[in-house]
Amino acid sequence: MMTQPRAAIILAAGLGTRMKSGLPKCMHQVGGRPMLEWSIDLARQVGAESIVTVYGQQSPQIGALGEANGTATALQDPPLGTGHAVQSAQDAMSGFGGNAIVLYGDTPLITAATVEKVFTALEDGASVAVLGFSPDDPAAYGRLVVKDGLLDRIVEFKDASEEERAIGFVNSGVLAAPAPLLFELLGEVTNDNANGEYYLTDVVGLARARGLKAVAVEGDAAEVLGVNSRVDLAEAEASWQRRRRDELMRDGVTMTAPETVFVAHDTQIGPDVILEPNVVFGPGVTVESGAHIHAFSHLEGCVVHGGAVIGPYARLRPGADIGEGAKIGNFVEVKKSTFGKGAKANHLAYIGDATVGSKANIGAGTITCNYDGFGKHQTHIGEGAFIGSNSSLVAPVSIGKGAYTGSGGVVTDNVPDDALALGRAKQVNKEGWAARFRAAMEKRKSES
Ligand code: UD1
Ligand code: CA
């Protein structure tokens, strides 16, 4: 159990040049939210009472996002290395005497259970604890030099000897120590190395030189993947999606082709929901127990209540609220609209800024004309109303309970309960017209 107060310093001031992006690296998203927010969330999950986001001169958005998420922020200008980055958080942490952990803003897959192990190592008596891992390819990661079960030092790849480069156990970047000790050791770090940077990793050797105990905790390589390029970003996304889909399936969601379903960080799906192939969730979706989402549907910022049936090929946009047992069929788009229990829009419709009463039926081709080029207007469709195919409902407009609108109508005036609205030209039949027309045309053809 937690014996010392905890703090987290999240490093996100690096340039991230390999992303080749106008956007700071840690703003790029995994699971529909910026990588930085994953790290902040992780810090909260392990009980950090103080969190500092370290950002750079070129990435004010990172500072703003840290603030928006309730963290303290520290500007590191210019960025002179990971050790220097942690030092720049010192003022923001003044007065904090507990254990601090350093996290990166570009490592979105680390779990709370793993970070817990690092803090536990401190609570069990280590002065510095580092999260290491053994990847298939140790690449250019810092090498963890372990002697007699203790971490002796960390050597950056560029500074490592051939022998040290052969070590397969490497540094994830996550490092924890009591905050006062961490800042004290950082005060002794120099930039005398291949990169001319102040390395955070040097605190391990400095602690050892004082006779303090340092340890490396081993984590799962898939979790500590650091994103440096768009290729890494795609890998992190795929890995997170796999993990989250597995959790959802374990919680009772059926997915017929899980590898084709994409969820967001906050997607809530109840048990006994069926997700067919190629269903994509943007942020802010809740699907209640027993709903069925057919193939190729896209949902974002919406609620689907129990037993509702969506798709195939449906689009639910922000503010859609689909009632119990309601049906939204193929090529139907719904935005900022509420569907009551058992209401249906089975084919080819656009319903925006509307309320649809329970058991109402909306025919194919119905469009709510909700926008006049300046403002959005509401359409109200009463319980049990029947909207004829190809109706244009020109908002603001109300259709009463149990009312009908004739097919192909343009409905501009409110319709009383139980009335029939005919908003189309009256049909005229011209007897024998077609036969006369054909005869005239054939005569002209034979004369030419
Ligand atoms: C660092 C570690 C290395 C480890 C690797 C894991 C050091 C010296 N090296 O190397 O041992 O294997 O991470 O991914 O710590 N940052 C700042 N300010 C800076 C420099 C970096 O905020 O001045 C931030 C970056 O935004 C990033 C993180 O620190 O979030 C890591 O920086 P990066 O330059 O990617 O470190 P690596 O060279 O990968
Ligand atoms: Ca890195």
Place of tokens 């604890």: 129
**Nearest atom (ligand 1) to Cα of 140:** 12
pLDDT tens for 274-312 read 999 999 999 999 999 999 999 999 999 999 999 999 999
Give the per-residue pLDDT at 182. Answer: 98
Atom 34 in ligand 1: residue holding the nearest Cα: 14
Mean pLDDT, all residues of the chain: 97
**Nearest atom (ligand 1) to Cα of 12:** 26
How many Å lie between the centroid of ligand 1 and the Cα of residue 17?
13
How many Å lie between the centroid of ligand 1 and the Cα of residue 201?
10
Would you say 215 and 126 are in contact if contact means Cβ atoms under 8 Å apart? yes
pLDDT tens for 352-393 read 999 999 999 999 999 999 999 999 999 999 999 999 999 999
The overall pTM is greater than 0.85: yes
Question: Mean pLDDT lowest for which of 13-27, 190-204, 243-257, 413-427?
Answer: 13-27
Closest C-alpha among 243, 268, 262 to residue 110: 243
| Burial category of 72 from C-beta neighbours within 10 Å (exposed 0-12, middle 13-18, buried 19 and up) | middle
Give the per-residue pLDDT at 406. Answer: 97
Can you tell me whether residue 283 is helix, strand or coil?
Answer: coil
- Residue 225, pLDDT > 90, answer no
Per cent of the chain over pLDDT 90 is 98
Q: Which residues line ligand 1 (CB under 6 A)?
A: 11-14, 54, 76, 79-82, 84-85, 104-106, 141-142, 154, 156, 170-173, 199-201, 226
Give the per-residue pLDDT at 341. Answer: 98
Give the per-residue pLDDT at 399. Answer: 98
In degrees and rounded to multiples of 5, residue 95 shows phi and psi of: 90, -10
Give the per-residue pLDDT at 187. Answer: 98
pLDDT tens for 111-141 read 999 999 999 999 999 999 999 999 999 999 9
How many Å lie between the centroid of ligand 1 and the Cα of residue 195?
12
Give the per-residue pLDDT at 448. Answer: 85
**pLDDT grade for 3, boundaries at 50, 70 and 90:** confident
How many Å lie between the centroid of ligand 1 and the Cα of residue 199?
8
Closest C-alpha among 408, 404, 444 to residue 423: 408
E strands within 148-294?
150-155, 170-178, 214-218, 254-255, 268-269, 274-275, 280-281, 286-287, 292-293
Closest C-alpha among 8, 16, 37 to residue 240: 37
Q: Name every residue whose Cβ is closer than 8 Å to that of residue 159 and which is 6 or more positions away in sequence.
A: 193, 194
Place of tokens 């390819």: 137
Report the sign of the C-alpha dihedral through residues 44, 48, 49, 54, in that order: negative
- Residue 415, pLDDT > 70, answer yes
What is the C-alpha separation between 37 and 45, in angstroms, rounded?
Answer: 12
The residues that bridge with 376 in the sheet, in sequence order, are 371
Would you say 100 and 174 are in contact if contact means Cβ atoms under 8 Å apart? no
Would you say 152 and 205 are in contact if contact means Cβ atoms under 8 Å apart? yes
What is the C-alpha separation between 179 and 48, in angstroms, rounded?
Answer: 13
Among all bound ligands, the one having the nearest atom to the CA of 106 is 1
Q: What count of Cα atoms within 13 Å lies in the side-chain half-sphere of residue 273?
A: 27
> Which residues are catalytically annotated?
347
- The preferred substitution site among 19, 65, 82, 156 for testing ligand 1, maximizing ligand atoms within 8 Å of CB, is 82
Give the per-residue pLDDT at 50. Answer: 97
Closest C-alpha among 295, 325, 293 to residue 308: 325
What is the C-alpha separation between 245 and 263, in angstroms, rounded?
Answer: 8
Give the per-residue pLDDT at 1. Answer: 56
What is the C-alpha separation between 330 and 296, in angstroms, rounded?
Answer: 9
Give the per-residue pLDDT at 15. Answer: 78
Per cent of the chain over pLDDT 70 is 100
Atom 38 in ligand 1: residue holding the nearest Cα: 141
